[in-house]
Amino acid sequence: MTTPQLLSVATLIGMMALFIWGRFRYDVTAIIALLTALAVGVVEPEDAFSGFSDDIVVVVASALVLSGAVQRSGVIERALGVVGRRIRRMRGQLLVLTASVAFSSALVKNIGALAMLMPAAVQMAKKSNSSPSCFLMPMSFAALLGGLMTQVGTSPNIIVSRVRQQMTGEPFTMFDYLPVGLGLTLIGLAFLAFGYRLLPGGRRAAPTMGEALDIKGYVTEAEVTEGSAAAGETVAGFLERHDREITVTQVLRSGMRSAPMPDMTLREGDTLILGGEPDALERAIARDKLKLEGEHRETETVSDEDEVGVIEAVVNVNSPLVGSSAGRLDLQRRHGVNLVAVSRQGERLTRRLAETTLRGGDVIVLQGSLTQLPEKLRELGCLPLAERTLRLGTSRRGYLAVGILAAAMAATAVQLVPVAVAFFAAAGLVIITGALPVREAYDHIEWSILVMLGALIPVSDSLRSTGASDVIATWLAQTATILPAWGAVALILAAAMAVTPFLNNAATVLVMAPIAATFAGDLGYRPEAFLMATAVGAGCDFLTPIGHQCNTLVFGPGGYKFGDYARLGAPLSLLVLILGTPLLIAVWPLR
């Protein structure tokens, strides 16, 4: 090896050591690697920031925004709820959850699909009186497998497509990943339906601050609108359809207050006083297209540029709200906020929100301009509650985000426009149309991932530019000469699976893909199967909670320990290696 080649390899080895050590965040480690590569001369100054202009950065950022928009729409969550209500056995629920998150991961980034369906898993676990740990890790693994099916499901697929374009002039298309990804997903789902028994039972997460406060009994007020599923339905039918997670304490019709008898038929224009947990109320209101109290009012203090949202707060004992009602204080006109829900410990509220006299210690949900709400809380003497996500009182755009995503995928599938252009345009459209507010769009972008990609692209490319990847590939090829063709593919797949638990999956592909492509060329094989093996191996991190964000996301809520991942993940990894190798060769012939 020449000196530049040795320096390039040493830089990457040092970077991997930092990743494994974990002293610095992965984006900081990538920056250190880039600075080191510049200092030793394996990356030229004019190429230092070329990674930030790469299409990969645009595609990953746009995919995250689209994932957030689909997640916010609640479409997939509602569809899962319809199926979940009819399935009571734990194995059936597990299969529904893992299949749902797997196939959702083909449409949105796997971490987004998992985050979208985790609340449904916790809800199912409560209903079946089981531990969420039986659902969450299998769902995480299913999300990783499902992400293998399309180009946008996971970052490694995007990077591998770029490497193939550099090698052959032709990138992988959106659904080139589907045959292998679908096969492995079905195999994985079948395993997880029975393999979940390898997990220790009874694990539960430590209670969150929101759970510790035990705020469940919210009361809100909503109107039955034209076209609502509740119109023409009895109270009993309405409650049964929502799994009795909510209650109807009063029905107001034509100015008259009525007790909600089970056989009472709801009509358009009725106002319902609803009680329940925030998530259950939000699901019922969104599903039945009910109109929350205050939504029909114009908020003069909110400009077109402001984003309307909700905040959860507790009423201080010295608050001017104490002893008064929202109607008497005229909160909307005087303060520019709407009261959309109230919770009072130990008491069931039955009056209209505008007529409810507030007390110190009441927990309220206020709706208004997110830029003005903190100041309004100070004026009203309310304290923001422990941070947790509330969607009660926020608007949704239903199927709009899903339609935009489908259009983008169709445009790339027929090669009408490049992937980066299609997804950047789609991300812009979901923001412009209001399917995802600008503030949330920026929140959904994982900036640390983009920084890591931008910094590592020139570092990993130094292997190619210095010729080090050719040398490494030649060494591997010499080792593989004693192996059959399938053994060479299995070697690359196993190497990628071994590295990715300790290295970010995108970083694994950036390092491994050029080596795999050159390795294939040295053996006289076509590169596609080896590139796909690299992407599959990098996407199948089943051994640790730190290699992929999906595994990290379920670590706390599932109450898992570090070693729990290998108990379920090791046999699944072996299954992918044994069955994935012939599948790769069958779909992507080596000659």
Q: What gap in Å lies between CA 515 and CA 498, rounded to an integer?
A: 15
Q: Which amino acid is at 304?
A: D
- Among 17-21, 182-186, 337-341, top mean pLDDT goes to 182-186
The answer on pLDDT for 563 being more than 80 is: no
pLDDT value at residue 531:
92
**Which bin fits 463, alpha (ψ -120 to 50), beta or left (φ > 0)?**
alpha
pLDDT band at 583 (very low <50, low <70, confident <90, very high): very high
Give the residue-averaged pLDDT of 357-369. Answer: 85
pLDDT value at residue 386:
52
Please tell me which residue, 216 or 174, carries the higher pLDDT value. Answer: 174
Q: What gap in Å lies between CA 323 and CA 204, rounded to an integer?
A: 41
Contacts of residue 39, Cβ cutoff 8 Å, sequence gap at least 6 = none
pLDDT tens per residue across span 244-290:
888 898 899 887 888 888 899 999 999 998 888 777 787 788 778 88
Residue identified by tokens 């509602």 is 78
Q: Round the average pLDDT of the chain to a whole number and report it.
A: 81
pLDDT value at residue 210:
44
Domain boundaries, the chain: 209-292, 308-384
Contacts of residue 250, Cβ cutoff 8 Å, sequence gap at least 6 = 257, 258, 259, 260, 272, 273, 350, 351, 352
pLDDT value at residue 299:
45
pLDDT tens per residue across span 98-115:
998 899 888 777 776 776
Residue 257, H or E segment = strand 256-258
55-73 helix and 155-168 helix, angle to the nearest 10 degrees: 150
pLDDT value at residue 212:
41
pLDDT value at residue 307:
65
pLDDT tens per residue across span 311-339:
888 888 888 898 888 778 888 788 888 88
pLDDT value at residue 389:
53
pTM for this entry: 0.63
Percent pLDDT > 70 in the chain is 86
pLDDT value at residue 224:
92
Give me the half-sphere count of Cα atoms (radius 13 Å) on the Cβ side of residue 567.
15
Contact indicator for 246, 183 with CB cutoff of 8 Å: no
Query: Distances in Å between the alpha carbon of 145 and those of 114, 157, 184, 418, 550?
Result: 12, 12, 7, 25, 11
Contacts of residue 48, Cβ cutoff 8 Å, sequence gap at least 6 = 34, 38, 458
Please tell me which residue, 567 or 515, carries the higher pLDDT value. Answer: 567
The answer on pLDDT for 85 being more than 80 is: no
Give the residue-averaged pLDDT of 3-27. Answer: 83
Q: Give the burial class of 545: count Cβ atoms within 10 A of its Cβ; 0-12 exposed, 13-18 middle, 19 or more buried.
A: buried
pLDDT tens per residue across span 435-487:
888 888 888 787 887 888 788 888 877 877 888 877 777 777 777 777 888 88
Give the residue-averaged pLDDT of 528-536. Answer: 91
pLDDT value at residue 569:
92
Q: Which fold has domain 308-384?
A: Alpha-Beta Plaits (3.30.70)
Q: What gap in Å lies between CA 283 and CA 298, rounded to an integer?
A: 24
Q: Please tell me whether residue 490 adopts helix, strand or coil conformation.
A: helix
pLDDT tens per residue across span 137-155:
999 999 999 989 988 777 7
Which class is 209-292 in CATH?
A: alpha beta
pLDDT band at 41 (very low <50, low <70, confident <90, very high): very high
Q: What gap in Å lies between CA 280 and CA 391, rounded to an integer?
A: 10
Tokens of 161: 């497509």
Please tell me which residue, 396 or 73, carries the higher pLDDT value. Answer: 73
Residue identified by tokens 């503030």 is 439
Contact indicator for 145, 102 with CB cutoff of 8 Å: yes
pLDDT tens per residue across span 202-223:
665 544 444 444 455 688 888 9
Tokens of 132: 């969420």
DSSP designation for 284: H
Give the residue-averaged pLDDT of 106-127. Answer: 74
Q: Which amino acid is at 54?
A: D
E strands, 263-391, where? 271-276, 291-292, 308-315, 338-343, 363-369, 382-384
Contact indicator for 310, 387 with CB cutoff of 8 Å: no
pLDDT value at residue 189:
95
209-292 against 308-384: fold identical: yes
- In 3D space, the residue among 430, 429, 428, 410 whose CA is nearest the CA of residue 419 turns out to be 410
Pairing of strands 271-276, 218-223: antiparallel
The answer on pLDDT for 396 being more than 60 is: no
Least confident of 5-19, 144-158, 282-296, 359-373: 282-296
pLDDT tens per residue across span 334-344:
888 888 888 88
Contact indicator for 14, 36 with CB cutoff of 8 Å: yes
pLDDT value at residue 298:
44
